[in-house]
Structure 1
């Protein structure tokens, strides 16, 4: 099967997906940071002059300009995903989450990990990029995944106290703008927090992320409009959903009924 490529319009990443392939790479480098998952079969992974056998559930970590290759084991095929990330953006996220006063990307000392939660989060992020879900969800998942990667493989988190007033500002900003296409950066800027601290402090206060709160507010408004008998497609459009199926999926997930069932 030919490789598939997916790019995000909200974060500087590119995802490559290959299934059941025997394609091999020579040792090479590239300017981007990259991280990839083995989803089927086994691979021979070379990085920093070390060769390692890895399998399903492993994530490879490749710093910019590191000489590396990752190929299927001899006479087999494999499936994998590889995410290429702009180092400048990654350094920006790194500055929020770990002790990095330089604001430049600090290379990872670890070249692969078998952490099951990191693997699960990577697959969730990849699925969101492939499905091209809401921009804010992709933005959140990228920040959450890479902050966990920094903490688990390099150093601990920056634990600074977040004043309650900043979280309230974030909540109020979402309340005032939940119908619009807003970003994590928009909410963070208006609440006086970094994107990383916004997501983690907001979830600690409300039990859900800013994006999940926005979706919940949209669905509550949808219920009010549907009770008035408004057209389902018009409601989906007014509340900023990508399309009717996207609206239907989120409505059923939160209400346990379809929009049509609820309106009837």
Structure 2
């Protein structure tokens, strides 16, 4: 959805039960937003405009690049510090408390109480980048496994480093049989848009523990492994003369552009150049 396209741009979409929003406010005089609350946790990344929150009886300075957190049900409001001379961009994320509680239980075995963020303004460049990566990926420009992995990594960083609950992480052991089953599944179903939860069921592990132990055992993440498997199959298909667009579809990439980007990153040449090189090498060998 888009509101006032000539002035403000506001778009919203869902990733499962998580609401995500993109805001680009046009230049305008500084004013307070109406006081309001949400049933969900609200996370807001301020990309290019500082501001101020009033939350839990306190005024908070919100610098550019910060991630702000509002606890469910808490009244709050916000404003620009001064009249806005240029557009201001924000990315918002609203997560159901039950989803956060379930994540805390999975990540650390502690999901009794709702996690509370004692500092509602988090200035951490690495965390902000994780938030931005997931926010963009949730728009459908990445595989489902990558989206799931980015969300889990974001929640883990938030819960482990910025909440009040006691987190006791399970140590990553050597679950070789479980990892073997997951690798075999990804190899056999390389063209499918598999979810992290489905892989966790195959492994018999939690999603968070699977992500940790897979990287510890294999040396790369689940999404990186899936991409490598897909590219290996793509090379075979290209060598068979199958059209690049069809290869992208058959190997499970979002679109041809995404396929080309990943292929060039791993193979150091484009799919079109690879196929031509393969034919030339074949001809040279025949000669």
Q: With structure 2 as the length reference, what TM-score do the two structures score?
A: 0.84
Structure 1 segment 84-99 matched on structure 2, within 5 A: 84-99=94-109
Q: Secondary structure at the match of 2:47?
A: strand
Match of 1:243 in 2: 255
Q: Give the corresponding residue for 2:272.
A: 260
1:176 maps to which residue?
188
Cα RMSD, aligned residues only: 2.0
Match of 1:79 in 2: 89
**Alignment partner, residue 70 of structure 2:** 62
What is the distance in 1 between the residues matched to 2:182 and 2:117? Answer: 32
Q: Aligned to 2:262, what secondary structure does the other structure show?
A: helix
Deviations 1:28-82 (A, max 9, x none): 1111111111111211112111111121121101111011122211323633211
C-alpha distance in structure 2 between counterparts of 1:67 and 1:54, whole Å: 17
Structure 1 stretches lacking a partner, 5+ long: none
Taking the aligned partners of 1:132 and 1:234, their CA distance within structure 2 comes to: 18
Q: TM-score, normalised by structure 1?
A: 0.91
- Does the 8 Å CA contact 2:52/2:59 hold for their aligned counterparts? yes
1:158 maps to which of 151, 169, 180: 169
Structure 1 equivalent of residue 133 of structure 2: 124
Q: Does 1:230 align with 2:242?
A: yes
**Could you list the runs of 4 or more consecutive aligned residues of structure 1 that deviate by over 6 angstroms after TM superposition?**
none
Moved more, 197-206 or 145-154: 197-206
| Contact persistence 1:3–1:16 (CA under 8 A) | no
Aligned match for 2:198, one of 180, 186, 195: 186
Q: 1:27 aligns with which of 19, 35, 51?
A: 35
Structure 1 position 99, deviation (Å): 4.1
CA–CA distance in structure 2, aligned partners of residues 71 and 170 of structure 1: 48
- 1:2 aligned to 2:8? yes
- 3-state SS in 2 of match to 1:40: coil
Q: Measure, in 2, the Cα distance between the counterparts of 1:194 and 1:52.
A: 37
* Unaligned stretches of 5+ residues in structure 2: 1-6, 277-287
Deviations 1:119-149 (A, max 9, x none): 1211211221245322221111011001111
Q: Measured at CA, do residues 58 and 207 of structure 1 come closer, stay the same or move farther in structure 2, by a change above 3 Å?
A: same
CA 5–207 in structure 1, closer or farther in 2 if over 3 Å, else same: farther
Task: Give the distance between the partners of 1:167 and 1:62, measured in 2 at CA.
Answer: 38
Change over 3 Å in CA distance of 1:116–1:122 after alignment to 2 = same
CA distance in 1, matches of 2:215, 2:172: 14
CA gap 1:226/1:190 in 2 versus in 1, 3 angstroms: same
Alpha-carbon distance, 1:173 to partner: 2.1
Secondary structure in structure 2 of the residue aligned to 1:246: helix
**Offset of residue 152 of structure 1:** 0.8
Q: CA deviation at 1:20?
A: 4.3
The number of equivalent residue pairs is 262
Q: Contact 1:6–1:130 (CA<8 Å) still a contact in 2?
A: no
